[in-house]
């Protein structure tokens, strides 16, 4: 009888070891800020947020390959003298693929550093604001304009803001994991000029400097690993 129990016990243990998979899944969400960077494109920040699902593949005790599918809402606020101001929202479906190095700090604790590229596709978002136009009458100058609210993505000729739908860049992260709960911080650094049509609006208003806006965003994140 004891031999039978031991055989069953070891069989269960063997099945448990075999059933252990290097693949795990997680959900995550984050909130932070975003703005533009690039030549003459510095802007004010606006609130950003993200949510998504991800998969981890453990290559070893230290190295982990991570892939995610995220919904990301970012953008910027900018005011240009004599032209106007705009509050831009960009909503993307984003696919990052990252490599993480994990350090086990204790039985239930670990920390990790991660980095990798991402690609993203714009699915929506609005840009709102107002324009300013200068007029002169009898040597007196005055300004007027109008408020607007248009789609962020799409051609200027179609009465949209002119942003490209495709974006790409790098993501850097640091995370702390306790049991299956994950907390961390991320930096998303865009490398694609998100709009090359705005200069067509700015030049007639006297703005003749190069303008190359790229996305940058930072997030505090929380997640849960299954």
Strands (DSSP E) along 38-62, which ranges?
46-58
Flag whether 10 is in a domain: no
Flag whether 165 is in a domain: yes
Task: Judge if pTM exceeds 0.85.
Answer: no
pLDDT digits (tens, 9 = 90+) for 96-150: 999 999 999 888 899 999 999 999 999 999 999 887 665 454 554 445 567 889 9
Residue 6 has pLDDT above 70, yes or no: no
Flag whether 2 is in a domain: no
Number of domains comprising the chain: 1
pLDDT digits (tens, 9 = 90+) for 155-182: 888 889 899 999 999 999 999 999 999 9
The CATH code of the domain that includes 180 is: 2.40.160.20
Residue 8 CA: distances (Å) to CA of 5, 11, 17? 5, 5, 14
Domain extent for 60:
23-225
């Amino acid at each position: 009888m004891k031999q039978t129990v031991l055989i069953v016990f070891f069989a269960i243990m063997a099945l448990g070891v075999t059933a252990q998979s290097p693949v795990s899944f997680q959900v995550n969400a984050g909130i932070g800020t975003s703005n533009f960077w690039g030549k003459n494109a510095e802007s004010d920040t606006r609130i950003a947020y993200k949510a998504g699902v991800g998969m981890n593949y453990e290559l070893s005790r230290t190295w982990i390959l991570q892939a995610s599918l995220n919904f990301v809402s970012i953008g910027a606020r900018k005011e240009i003298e004599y032209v106007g101001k705009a509050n831009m929202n960009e909503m993307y479906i984003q696919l990052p693929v990252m490599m993480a190095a994990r350090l086990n700090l204790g039985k239930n604790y670990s920390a990790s550093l991660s980095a990798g590229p991402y690609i993203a596709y714009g699915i929506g978002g609005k840009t709102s604001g107002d324009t300013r136009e200068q007029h002169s009458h009898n040597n007196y100058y005055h300004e007027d304009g109008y408020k607007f609210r248009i789609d962020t993505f799409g051609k200027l000729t179609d009465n949209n803001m002119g942003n490209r739908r495709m974006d790409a860049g790098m993501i850097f992260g640091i995370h702390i994991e306790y049991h299956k709960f994950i907390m961390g911080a991320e930096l998303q650094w865009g490398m694609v000029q998100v709009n090359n049509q705005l200069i067509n609006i700015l030049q007639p208003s006297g703005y003749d400097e190069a303008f190359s806006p790229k996305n940058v965003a930072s997030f505090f994140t929380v997640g849960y690993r299954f």
